[in-house]
Amino acid sequence: QVQLQESGPGLAKPSQTLSLTCTVSGGSITTGDFYWSWIRQSPGTGLEWIGYIFSSGKTFSNPSLKSRLSISIDTSKNQFSLTLRSVTAADTAVYYCAREGRGAGWFDPWGQGTLVTVSS
């Protein structure tokens, strides 16, 4: 069965760049018409969809983050990545990667999540 695992630094400095990678195991990232997604949860708040990418490289992003966001995919490594520029304390969150169901708006499975703190 497909499993996802986030990795990356747990700390980012204000105004700098946050970068995370999600490694997919148990299946190919190019199989099926799935979108590969990033979702976050800031402390004390709910879930926020960040964006997703198709195996072709086509991306869709949350309009509120679009200007600072890049999502990329490396099919040779079965990984996809998130880059968020000019971060502030408001970007402190648990970041999850997840597989999205063929444009039907459901997420399954999810990674365990990784906490990223933005602080000097």
Partner 1 sequence: QSALTQPASVSGSPGQSITISCTGTSSDIGGYNYVSWYQHHPGKAPKLMIYVVSNRPSGVSNRFSGSKSGNTASLTISGLQADDEAVYYCCSYVSGNSLLFGGGTRLTVL
Separation between Cα atoms, residue 7 and residue 120, nearest integer Å:
21
**Residue whose CB is less far from partner 1, 14 or 57:** 57
Report in angstroms how near the CB of residue 19 gets to partner 1 at its nearest. 21
Considering beta carbons, is residue 10 or 63 the nearer one to partner 1? 63
- In the complex, the smallest distance separating the C-beta of residue 76 from partner 1, rounded to whole angstroms, is 26
Give min distance, CB of 74 to partner 1, in A: 23
- For 35-45, b/e burial (b = at least 16 CB within 10 A) is bbbbbbeeeee
Q: What residues line the site for partner 1 (CB under 8 A)?
A: 39, 45-49, 60, 62-64, 96, 100-101, 103-113
Extract the tokens encoding 7.
Answer: 């990795």
Taking the C-alpha atoms of residue 111 and residue 1, their distance in angstroms, rounded to an integer, is 13
